[in-house]
Amino acid sequence: MSEQHRFYHHQSPTFSRSVCGQCRQSIGRLAVLIALIVLGDTACTSADNNEAAAMDVQIDPVIAELFETTARSSGATYRVGYRALIQLGPDMRGSLQVTANATDWQDKWLARALILEIDHPERAELIRRVLRAIGRCEVRILDSGEIEIIYDEKYLDHRVESAKKTLIVGRETIPLFVQALPQLDEHLYTREPHKPTSALLDALVHFNNPETAKPMLWRCKHLAIDALVAMGDPVADALEDVIALPEGWRETPAPATRVAAATALGRIGADSSASALLAEMRTLATTDIPEKDHVGLAVAQAYCLAVADLQAADAAPVMFDLLLRTADGWGELGDSRTSGAYTMIRAAMLSLGPAARTELTARLDSEPTAAHRAIAHDMLIALDNPVDPSADAPEQEAFHQWRRRAALAGMAGNWSGPTIRERAASGVSLKYLPLVTLVDRPFGLDVLEQILLAHGETERDACRDYHRPIIRALGDMDDARVLDVLRKHLERRPTLCLGHVIDTLVRLSDADGVAILDDIIAALEAPATPQYRTHKSHLDRARVARKVLTASLTDLVDMATSSSSDHRREATYVLARRGHVEATVILLDKIVTDTDGGGRVWHNELLRLGDVALPTLRRRFEGGDNPDEKLLCEAVILRLTNPQLAADFDQVMRPPITQEFRRAMRSHIGPTMADHRNVGQHIADMIDPTALPLLEALAMMTPESPVLACALAAIGEDRSLTLMLRHIDRAPAWPILGFGPAGRDALIQAAQSPQPDQLATAHWSITSALATTHEPDPAGLEMILEALALVKTDHQVAGRARHYLRLAKRYHDPRLADGAFDVAQIYPDNREALQMLHEYDDPRLEEVCEAYIQQGRSIGSDVIKILIERKGDEVGSFLMAQLASCDDPRRRDWMIDDLRCAHRQIGPESRRLVGNGLLTYLADPSKRVQQTAAKALVWITPRPKKTTESLLEWAKTYDYALPDKVVRYLGKSRHPQAGPVLLALYRQRTNTRGSLPRALANLNYEPALPVIVDVMDQHIAEWRSQKTSRLLSSIHQEMLAIRRLGPDGQAKLMAILRDGADLPIRVEAALATAKGSRTDPDPEQLKLTQDLLHRLAINGLDDPSLTGTVHERTSAYRAMVHALMTALQGCPVDRAYPILLAATLKAKDPIIREKLAKRVVQLARQDPDLPALPPAYP
């Protein structure tokens, strides 16, 4: 065996052994790779023992392990292992020839590529280098079937001049193309994403070798789908092997591979693919689902979509089973995880057409739960009303376009689509679902009852967020069985959502509900009953509810118009639900006078009255004098007499109105004015002109909506402008500008109130609208001046002074300075006022700044700039005088810290004056002021001797830990007394962070070495019991200081590195010593670092030095390896490369192996001659 081969051994030389059963026990699976992969397990049986014994194959366990690791890796790890295997040369030729025909595709293709590297080394190396840069090459298909690659030598080696060359390759180079796939994340950068991947896949598609299907799929996942489809039926068998689900498949790292394989099979359309997919789907539908099974859900979704592509009619039963499992949560994944998969599986099943209809019809009768029957019922409705594909879609893409649009329609069902009704039926995330959509369904009550009674069996499930929307939805159902459902709920959870139960009984207005109220009242009046807690509000509400349910019509009218808010609300509900015409006027009054957003609720109750209310509505419309009431009557009459117009209007207004507005609503900044205008224009274009009263009534009930206001402005009717002006105190003013000049004039007229302080909200809204136009309106300036004049008299306007001043920046008028001065007198910290006074060069600005500082506020950069411009070099003496006159220690601390922050803005003379003045505050009675003054001196003074001596004297008497900034300052001062002072402080407070040892090391104060060593030993002893990262960081800082304190310190660290008992401490010592030997590393230190890295690479997480949980061991292990890699960064690359290469080939942890491999690749890029060096094992 060659010397080059021997470099790859760990401790033992190459040995020779016959192929028998003992091989697998002694060196693992791939140690007998050469014989076992091809011959199978029978190779080592007694029957074939003679034949196996005849094959005397030399097998190295290190090489076998390297081969196995490389074949199953990718990225930098694959690249490093591949290069290492190439260097073995002819010694592996015979072994690789056997492995090249193996059944395992990873071993097979790696062996074939290595054979080409061995037989044709120069050409193989050129092809390999060109393929790594293929993303920047030009690829052509020749008539002969070969591929021509035009490349630039500059891409292969940056040291050579640019030169275009041509490389022609044929089918014999397929293994080199396959081995390039795992290295795609190491390719040269290109401007087009995935271009290198696409180029390699296109070449493999051209060669069309079915054996390449698995490596293409495994290495490229979804990027290989189009290539596999182009290869057609020949790859179907390989893909069907990939989609198989053997035992333990969820733990294998291949969910994306199975998903991509299923997608490709669906598009290829082979005859056997449907049965193969269907068999695996049955496995998914019948086996138990583990908790949080993300992998299984993704695979189930992909398989269902693939079967839908194949139009396999017999897949409908199992597909519906998977759909129900997804609706039920799929292993408690939750709605956020399952909603997307549910939508896609649902759309896939709907695409089966007649087969889906037959299965759903059968399930409608056979499913035991109402929720599952509800899903089948709504899917049948969806089959009768399919979502059509776009008219201009190509015929061959019609189905895929339909499926995509159907999925989007299902996701948009958050407002009214069938998907939400089905998700509600499954009992998932009811807190945010509009369950009112179940009210008008024939199965709605069954679904709500099942959900209501399913939750709450334990205290954890008894969540009001689940029960409240259900109980509210029950109040809108016209079904006598609702009372029975409420009784069952009260029997299980008597106190849960009791107030909502009482409210629902009132809304039902059923006389039979009185018996339930009697039971509730009796239970609440008997506090001895253990399951009830006496709650006065519930008891009062129950009594009021019983009173209104048993009252006569006359009494109900009296209650609805009485001064008691409880009686009025409950009685109005009962009047409306029982259809009494007397409720019409009461409801109109409630809607018109409502200011809390409840108008739309009463509007719905008014619509429930139906034709009974029409005579009263017409009479009030013709003879009324309230414009809002007349508008409401007109809208309700229009809805009752023209239901189709109302339905079309509601369809347009159903949110989200447009796709763009939906995206704006999801944005972190929310929709802009332009978004609202666009949606308003969309509404104006879509609704019928005769539906304008409906839009105006909606805007009247919700005047704060900018969308509705923009829609009215887009239509531009005068009556709409009058409506918006009536509600200007509650509505935004800027949409009114959409009416054009008429809207502007109307806003100005509305703002000219004799008492604008009484309309503070409307005044601000109008001002903002006029001032924020593209060209600020002059009327906005007058309104700003009017508001600033009221700052001293109106607290509401004063609270918006900052906002008015920000609007004033869009104008330029000297009168604004007077308003800014008034604001500054009331609010001295108002930066907008100071900036405006400074902009207009107002002489009163200096007075405002002085008053500002005298109040002890934070000075800030704006005030400092103003004072520097006003006072020049006198600013230093002024600031120190203000500081001397301050009696409050907290204010002194603020002012000193502000001086520190603003020291760069003042001149050298003022800075010197401030620095000398701050020296006196080192003796301030307040320790906090002393500390702040010390930090300020470090920033302000450029290290003069007087400042250093003052800080040293202060440090001797300061009883607390010195600030790190001060310690670093003293460590760099080189003052002869700094070392003794800092050492004395270090002796007193050994728990100080690493700033003191570093400062002593910077001073090169060797007497501190024994003290630092003692402290480090104490920290090491503490670390052995606590194992905290804080202690390890302190030990590292102390080691860095020890290293810099002469030969004795370096000898101490080498002793720890050589003989230390704790591996993490030895690693820290290796890192500390390495930082002092970057140019010429100590041979012993380098050898010890190599031993540590090799030990960690071989042992992995099983190293005896690692203790604790798996997470703790993993974190400590990776931190130590990273530290040793850092320690090797200072070594010459020709010495670090072999060490890192050996550690890469031995590392067990995949993440660490990849990091080491990336470092090896980086070094190889720096010096292309490094890959010729063999790995250096200890």
Q: What are phi and psi of 152, to 5 degrees?
A: -110, 130
Confidence (pLDDT) at 474? 79
Residue 386 in tokens:
């399919």
Exposed, middle or buried: residue 21 (CB in 10 Å: 0-12, 13-18, 19+)? Answer: middle
Strand partners, 152: 164
Confidence (pLDDT) at 8? 30
Exposed, middle or buried: residue 754 (CB in 10 Å: 0-12, 13-18, 19+)? Answer: exposed
Where on the phi/psi map is residue 463: left (φ > 0), alpha (ψ -120 to 50), or beta?
beta
Q: Give the residue with greater pLDDT, 1155 vs 403.
A: 1155
Own/partner pairs for 635-644, CB < 8 Å, 24+ apart? 635/693, 635/694, 635/696, 635/697, 636/603, 636/606, 636/607, 636/697, 638/690, 638/691, 638/693, 638/694, 639/607, 639/694, 640/607, 640/610, 640/611, 640/613, 640/614, 641/614
Q: Give the residue with greater pLDDT, 102 vs 854.
A: 102
Q: Report the mean per-residue pLDDT for the chain.
A: 77
Round to whole Å and give the CA distance between 935 and 276.
74
Under 8 Å between Cβ of 856 and 894: yes
Round to whole Å and give the CA distance between 854 and 829.
12
Round to whole Å and give the CA distance between 89 and 1126.
32
Convert the pLDDT of each residue in 111-157 to its tens digit.
999 999 988 989 998 998 888 888 888 899 998 889 999 998 887 87
**Across 1031-1100, where does the E strand assignment appear?**
none
Q: State whether residue 1131 is helix, strand or coil.
A: coil
* Cβ contacts of 1046 within 8 Å, gap of 6 or more: 1006, 1009
Range with lowest mean pLDDT among 223-232, 565-574, 722-731, 969-978 = 565-574
Round to whole Å and give the CA distance between 530 and 862.
66
Convert the pLDDT of each residue in 1005-1035 to its tens digit.
889 999 999 989 988 998 888 888 888 888 8
Confidence (pLDDT) at 657? 59
Closest CA to 60 of 3, 113, 26, 16: 16
Residue 44 in tokens:
């080592």
* pLDDT(548) > 70: yes
Q: Give the residue with greater pLDDT, 413 vs 604.
A: 604
Distances (CA, A) of 529 to 327, 498, 523, 533, 539: 39, 16, 7, 8, 15
Under 8 Å between Cβ of 862 and 831: yes
With cut-offs at 50, 70 and 90, classify the pLDDT of residue 303: very high
Exposed, middle or buried: residue 143 (CB in 10 Å: 0-12, 13-18, 19+)? Answer: exposed
Rounded mean pLDDT of 571-584?
78
* Cβ contacts of 813 within 8 Å, gap of 6 or more: 781, 785
Q: What are phi and psi of 141, to 5 degrees?
A: -100, 125
Round to whole Å and give the CA distance between 960 and 1077.
36
Convert the pLDDT of each residue in 945-996 to its tens digit.
888 888 888 988 887 888 888 888 888 888 889 889 888 888 876 445 678 8
- Could you tell me the pTM of the whole model? 0.62
Q: How many residues does the chain have?
A: 1178
Under 8 Å between Cβ of 298 and 255: yes
Round to whole Å and give the CA distance between 276 and 271.
10
Convert the pLDDT of each residue in 403-452 to its tens digit.
333 333 333 232 233 333 333 333 333 333 345 445 555 666 776 676 67
Rounded mean pLDDT of 1042-1071?
89
Closest CA to 722 of 704, 705, 742: 742
Q: Give the residue with greater pLDDT, 87 vs 110.
A: 110
With cut-offs at 50, 70 and 90, classify the pLDDT of residue 392: very low
* pLDDT(711) > 50: yes
Q: Give the residue with greater pLDDT, 267 vs 489.
A: 267
Confidence (pLDDT) at 22? 32
Convert the pLDDT of each residue in 259-294 to its tens digit.
999 999 999 988 889 999 999 999 988 888 887 788
Q: Give the residue with greater pLDDT, 619 vs 757.
A: 619
Q: Give the residue with greater pLDDT, 693 vs 536.
A: 693
Listing DSSP states for 71-109 in one string gives: HT--HHHHHHHHHHHHTTGGGGHHHHHHHTT-SSHHHHH
Q: For 558-571, b where at least 16 C-beta lie within 10 A, e where not — what string?
A: ebbeeeeebbbbbb
Convert the pLDDT of each residue in 818-858 to its tens digit.
888 888 877 766 778 877 887 888 888 777 777 777 665 55
Round to whole Å and give the CA distance between 81 and 58.
20
- Cβ-based neighbour number of residue 832 at 10 Å: 20
* pLDDT(1145) > 70: yes
Exposed, middle or buried: residue 884 (CB in 10 Å: 0-12, 13-18, 19+)? Answer: exposed
Exposed, middle or buried: residue 372 (CB in 10 Å: 0-12, 13-18, 19+)? Answer: buried
Q: Give the residue with greater pLDDT, 392 vs 327.
A: 327
Range with lowest mean pLDDT among 55-64, 89-98, 156-165 = 55-64
The residue written with tokens 């923009």 in the block is 710
Own/partner pairs for 481-489, CB < 8 Å, 24+ apart? 481/445, 482/445, 482/508, 483/508, 483/510, 483/512, 483/513, 483/516, 485/445, 485/448, 485/449, 485/452, 486/516, 487/516, 488/449, 488/453, 489/452, 489/453
Confidence (pLDDT) at 799? 73
